[in-house]
Amino acid sequence: MAADPRFHPAAGPFQLSDLAKAAGAEMVGEGALPFRDVAPLELAGPDEVAFLDGRKHLDALRASRAGAVVLRSEFAGSLPAGCAGLISPAPHLAFARIAGLFHPPPPPVPGIHPTASVAADAILGEGCEIGAYAVIGPGAILGARCVLGPHVVIGPGCVFGDDCRIHAHASAVCCIAGDRVTLHHGARVGQEGYGFAPTPDGRFLTIPQLGRVRLEDEVEVGANSCVDRGAMGDTVLGAGTRLDNLVQIGHNVTTGRGCVIVAQVGISGSTKLGDYVTIAGQAGLTGHLTIGSRARVGAQAGVQGDIAAGQDVTGSPAMPVKDALRAALYLRRVGARKAHPAGMEEQKGPPAGRPEQTD
Amino acid sequence: MAADPRFHPAAGPFQLSDLAKAAGAEMVGEGALPFRDVAPLELAGPDEVAFLDGRKHLDALRASRAGAVVLRSEFAGSLPAGCAGLISPAPHLAFARIAGLFHPPPPPVPGIHPTASVAADAILGEGCEIGAYAVIGPGAILGARCVLGPHVVIGPGCVFGDDCRIHAHASAVCCIAGDRVTLHHGARVGQEGYGFAPTPDGRFLTIPQLGRVRLEDEVEVGANSCVDRGAMGDTVLGAGTRLDNLVQIGHNVTTGRGCVIVAQVGISGSTKLGDYVTIAGQAGLTGHLTIGSRARVGAQAGVQGDIAAGQDVTGSPAMPVKDALRAALYLRRVGARKAHPAGMEEQKGPPAGRPEQTD
Amino acid sequence: MAADPRFHPAAGPFQLSDLAKAAGAEMVGEGALPFRDVAPLELAGPDEVAFLDGRKHLDALRASRAGAVVLRSEFAGSLPAGCAGLISPAPHLAFARIAGLFHPPPPPVPGIHPTASVAADAILGEGCEIGAYAVIGPGAILGARCVLGPHVVIGPGCVFGDDCRIHAHASAVCCIAGDRVTLHHGARVGQEGYGFAPTPDGRFLTIPQLGRVRLEDEVEVGANSCVDRGAMGDTVLGAGTRLDNLVQIGHNVTTGRGCVIVAQVGISGSTKLGDYVTIAGQAGLTGHLTIGSRARVGAQAGVQGDIAAGQDVTGSPAMPVKDALRAALYLRRVGARKAHPAGMEEQKGPPAGRPEQTD
């Protein structure tokens, strides 16, 4: 079951040796057929390549009709007869490289759509593709081979490096970006952050937000995610950092390299992340915190204090993961009446409480 | 107090018998006046129709000046003199049908706005209305009577059935949709999901996302909600499933029919919902779970394991609702010093803790 | 370190007396230099103005090279030699006024972009600036000096007062707004809310949403935030209320004046807020609640019941803040094995549990 060619036409075909070379993998067995695409293990046919994502899929491997499978050496013995192996210590990465051989990112189609509105003094690098109704403001600068989808807005003075991809409906203002930066559909970068002071007559006065957003090389901002510019100084996403969808990054947040920020996370202003911090879905971090490199924050966690490098926390308020699991287990036991704490003498029937309302 | 005719012009007027027929309701009393619109019980006048949403509004019913009220038979005795009754066992549904009589969805105004950009080989069904600056890509196919608002983007090869409504600023790529599908303002469907593998030199390599999104008949995607395409294979929303606003659906999530997914919910990749699952606001589900049909997940729940059909869970981590209420009651009692667990010998004053910060 | 002039050109320069007058602050010392911009305390030079944000920054004050600092009188003694003071009891507000002197909101550039699509019967006040590809529908009315960014959609019949700013990609339908209202990038106002009734054949019938959104003077709606119109009657945001980004406001929510609703908050339908309610990030409120004036709701709180005026709550389910801190402390102690509740006899190793998954 190859990818739908309406959306994902495949390059190739390729020989097994081409795949092994792209993946940096060692071949086991022969692949006589040219290979035409990647496919999941359960569905792949003799001209398709799959991968084994861990031992729990071994049964699927043994039953697979794939022509070749990317896998760790320890599982090579489970390859079906006639199925070639591509041995790698990092099968997911190797498979990504092979998939990228069949489905490379489409190159830009250089040109400016006749409906795009590009300021006279904007500078576009060679080979840019500018989509329908895109708006590029005065003094903006795009590097080479940037691809802007329909309706993209690049504000005055913004700078993007080479090979950036800015998908339909995304907007960037007050933004300086490096190379190979990606803004997904509807991403919002550089808008005014949430800053105001109460006045004596009961109103709010906006505090001018005079900073910018800096996106280092290979940063990605997910669909409909928001990155506010700094109040003074910059909001910075370090090289390789990737935001999933519907994420909120407050003014003057900074991250190091390679941070992984999953969907619907919110990080309040001026919080600073080190390198390779992972924040799981829907977690929230208050402001002015310091999160050390390689810390990991669990899904839905509520972080209210600094986290040391390498520490794993979860829960709301957040605490070390082992502690949080212990506390959660205790609550589960209380709920299931397997623990009978003082002050909860046997309740008759379920406690009065407001059942969860969906609106 | 009728609906504002600038935004919601009313069809009609209609006789009580017309309303009864549309609603499948039984008439009690007469409605001499022609009826001009629906209105809330507290505000309706003699030419307006209201409905009774349960016994807690009986006082409002008795005081109402409405010309007719939709209600269950058990409350008919509380109708004021001169107020007709429209008896239905499902008053909300009956009222929806009556409101729909006064305010039917506006029919398409067939035609392509001169500013729209429609690919030469795109196929549009008869009677489509294509709004200003909409972009329809090569090979896309729309059924009959589809309405696209301003700035909509339909990517190459996408397919939509008949009578779809795609509101302003929504985007769909790599998407196959049935009939009567609705994408609300700013909805994002089919974009690349969150998939990448770490490389040895500390960067991330995107794993090509080679699937699609399938939206079955009558699916609705709320404003600014995001539905990522599959990594391999499809992300599927089953017939009638409705997403509220700001929802995140990860790659390869699938749902059965009629799932109700309230605002700001996040469902991680490859999780599978059965039919008629309800997920209340801001809940989060981790990946690769199986949620049985008619399960109900409470607001803000954190679901980390499978849920059996028909089960109700809430809390984070999620547990059966009765257990969660019991655990929450216990915590409330600890907080209020009505329970004095060991290890919490009388604290002087409030415990040290970080008061909640708003940034 | 002044603001980047590509994005934030500075007006002026100004004398110290100009700044003191704008800020309503008392001068201490002289500022001989004309001042050119604001800057952070740590970076400001002799021709820049900074402010002291509380005693924890006193070291930074003493080391600062700023030409003038806005601060409370009690800290004036810590001003470095040669650094002028601008004394104010509300330094943040005073600084906002000074920053606004250097960086006033850019005035509209009156005119309608040639690519904008403005209905023939739409009424635009004098001095409006209408951006590229903006769409203004039939019967819409804008007051004087409104600024609409690229791709804005104003639906038929909408009304905006004077001096509104509607940023790129925002949409408003069924909306009546006052003066000085701001919609940030991608904001969604007035779309159909989440209302439907189940039918006997297992489908959902939409309940026509026949209300509107009313935004009173000086309301702000953050980037990608969503405000649904009323089902019947209006959703209302009271004067001065500000929504941060990615907020969800359900149908028929109403707020009083000056409510502060931080990022990713969700408020379910028909809940009513008084004046000056503060709701911290990612909190959720169920429907049909009443939240009294000046109540404060903590980050990630789950509010399921009414809150009295002036009360502070947090946690999920929400409870008074002091109680929530006490309950959280207890759980932290259970987790850290400093409390040993009955029913949790010494567990060997960490409890079985599902480590947090990032998808």
What local confidence, expressed as pLDDT, does residue B119 receive? 98
* Mean pLDDT of the residues in chain C: 94
Mean pLDDT of C117-122: 98
CB contact under 8 A, C232 and B39: yes
Q: For chain C, what are the domain ranges?
A: 16-102
Q: Which residues of A touch B249 (CB under 8 A)?
A: none
Q: Confidence class of residue B350 from pLDDT cuts 50, 70 and 90?
A: very low
Asked if the model's pLDDT at residue B351 lies above 90, the reply is no
Chains in contact with C, where contact requires at least 3 CB pairs less than 8 Å apart: A, B
Question: Which residue in B133, B281, B356 is closest to C133 by CB distance?
Answer: B133
- With contact defined as beta carbons under 8 Å apart, do C207 and C231 qualify? yes
What local confidence, expressed as pLDDT, does residue B345 receive? 64
What local confidence, expressed as pLDDT, does residue C30 receive? 79
Token pair of C161 as six digits: 């007062």
What local confidence, expressed as pLDDT, does residue C135 receive? 98
Q: Which residues of A touch B280 (CB under 8 A)?
A: 356-358
What local confidence, expressed as pLDDT, does residue B31 receive? 66
Asked if the model's pLDDT at residue A347 lies above 90, the reply is no
Between A58-67, A234-243, A348-357, C63-72, the lowest mean confidence (pLDDT) is in A348-357
What local confidence, expressed as pLDDT, does residue C346 receive? 52
Asked if the model's pLDDT at residue C353 lies above 50, the reply is no
List Cα–Cα distances, B349 to A304, B332, B334, B352, B353, in angstroms: 21, 17, 14, 9, 12
The CA-to-CA distance between both ends of chain A, in Å, stands at: 41
What local confidence, expressed as pLDDT, does residue C245 receive? 98
What local confidence, expressed as pLDDT, does residue B348 receive? 46
Instruction: Report the residue of chain C nearest A186, measured CA to CA.
Output: C186
Catalytically annotated residues of B: 251
CB contact under 8 A, A96 and B196: yes
Instruction: Report the residue of chain B nearest A335, measured CA to CA.
Output: B323
CA distance A157 to chain B (A): 25
Chains in contact with B, where contact requires at least 3 CB pairs less than 8 Å apart: A, C
Q: Confidence class of residue C345 from pLDDT cuts 50, 70 and 90?
A: low
Q: Which of B166, B167, B210 to mutate to test the interface with A (most CBs of A within 10 A)?
A: B210
Question: Which residue in A7, A258, A343 is closest to B338 by CB distance?
Answer: A343
Asked if the model's pLDDT at residue B33 lies above 90, the reply is no
Q: Which residues of A touch B301 (CB under 8 A)?
A: 356
What local confidence, expressed as pLDDT, does residue B2 receive? 76
Q: Confidence class of residue A341 from pLDDT cuts 50, 70 and 90?
A: confident
Asked if the model's pLDDT at residue A265 lies above 60, the reply is yes
CB contact under 8 A, B342 and C342: yes
d(CA C239, CA C262): 17
pLDDT in tens, C34-62: 999 999 999 999 999 999 989 999 999 99
Reported as type and span, the H/E element at residue B153 is strand B153-154
CB contact under 8 A, A322 and C186: no
Q: Which of C185, C251, C288, C340 is catalytic?
A: C251
* Mean pLDDT of the residues in chain A: 94
Q: Confidence class of residue C354 from pLDDT cuts 50, 70 and 90?
A: very low
- Provide the residue type at C260 as one letter: V
Q: Confidence class of residue C156 from pLDDT cuts 50, 70 and 90?
A: very high
d(CA C313, CA B43): 34
Between CA A307 and CA A322, with CA C299 as vertex, the angle to 5 degrees is 40
CB contact under 8 A, A336 and B319: yes
* Mean pLDDT of the residues in chain B: 94
Asked if the model's pLDDT at residue B180 lies above 50, the reply is yes
Asked if the model's pLDDT at residue B30 lies above 90, the reply is no
Q: Which residues of A touch C3 (CB under 8 A)?
A: 210-211, 232
Instruction: Report the residue of chain C nearest B226, measured CA to CA.
Output: C224
Characterize the bridge pairing of strands C196-198 and C204-206: antiparallel
What local confidence, expressed as pLDDT, does residue A31 receive? 66
Q: How far is CA C24 from the centre of its chain?
A: 25
CB contact under 8 A, C232 and B316: no
CATH class of C16-102: alpha beta
Buried/exposed C42-60: b ≥16 CB within 10 Å, e otherwise: bbbbebbbbbbbeeebeeb
CA distance C163 to chain B (A): 23
- With contact defined as beta carbons under 8 Å apart, do C57 and C75 qualify? no
What local confidence, expressed as pLDDT, does residue B356 receive? 38
Q: Compute the 3-state secondary structure of chain B and give helix, strand, coil in percent, each to the nearest 5.
A: 15, 25, 60
What local confidence, expressed as pLDDT, does residue C358 receive? 37
Q: Which residue has the higher pLDDT, B45 or A359?
A: B45
CB contact under 8 A, A357 and B333: no
What local confidence, expressed as pLDDT, does residue A351 receive? 46
Q: Confidence class of residue A346 from pLDDT cuts 50, 70 and 90?
A: low
pLDDT in tens, A101-147: 999 999 999 999 999 999 999 999 999 999 999 999 999 999 999 99
CB contact under 8 A, B257 and C202: yes
Q: Confidence class of residue A29 from pLDDT cuts 50, 70 and 90?
A: confident
Between B217-226, C30-39, C266-275, the lowest mean confidence (pLDDT) is in C30-39
Q: Confidence class of residue C312 from pLDDT cuts 50, 70 and 90?
A: very high
User: Is the peptide bond preceding residue C317 cis, with omega within 30 degrees of 0?
Assistant: yes
CA distance A25 to chain C (A): 26
Between CA B225 and CA B233, with CA B231 as vertex, the angle to 5 degrees is 100
Q: Give the number of beta-carbon pairs within 8 Å between A and C.
A: 252
Q: Which of A213, A226, A253, A288 to mutate to test the interface with C (most CBs of C within 10 A)?
A: A226
Instruction: Report the residue of chain C nearest A304, measured CA to CA.
Output: C299
Cross-strand partners of B177: B215
**CB-count exposure of residue C106 (10 Å: 0-12, 13-18, 19+):** exposed
List Cα–Cα distances, A15 to A24, A52, A70, B18, B190, in angstroms: 14, 20, 14, 70, 31
Asked if the model's pLDDT at residue A345 lies above 70, the reply is no
Asked if the model's pLDDT at residue B240 lies above 50, the reply is yes
pLDDT in tens, C122-148: 999 999 999 999 999 999 999 999 999
Q: Is the dihedral of CA A303, B355, B303, B216 positive or negative?
A: negative
What local confidence, expressed as pLDDT, does residue B1 receive? 62
- With contact defined as beta carbons under 8 Å apart, do B178 and B159 qualify? no
Asked if the model's pLDDT at residue A148 lies above 90, the reply is yes
What local confidence, expressed as pLDDT, does residue C31 receive? 66
What local confidence, expressed as pLDDT, does residue A338 receive? 84
CB contact under 8 A, B323 and A344: no
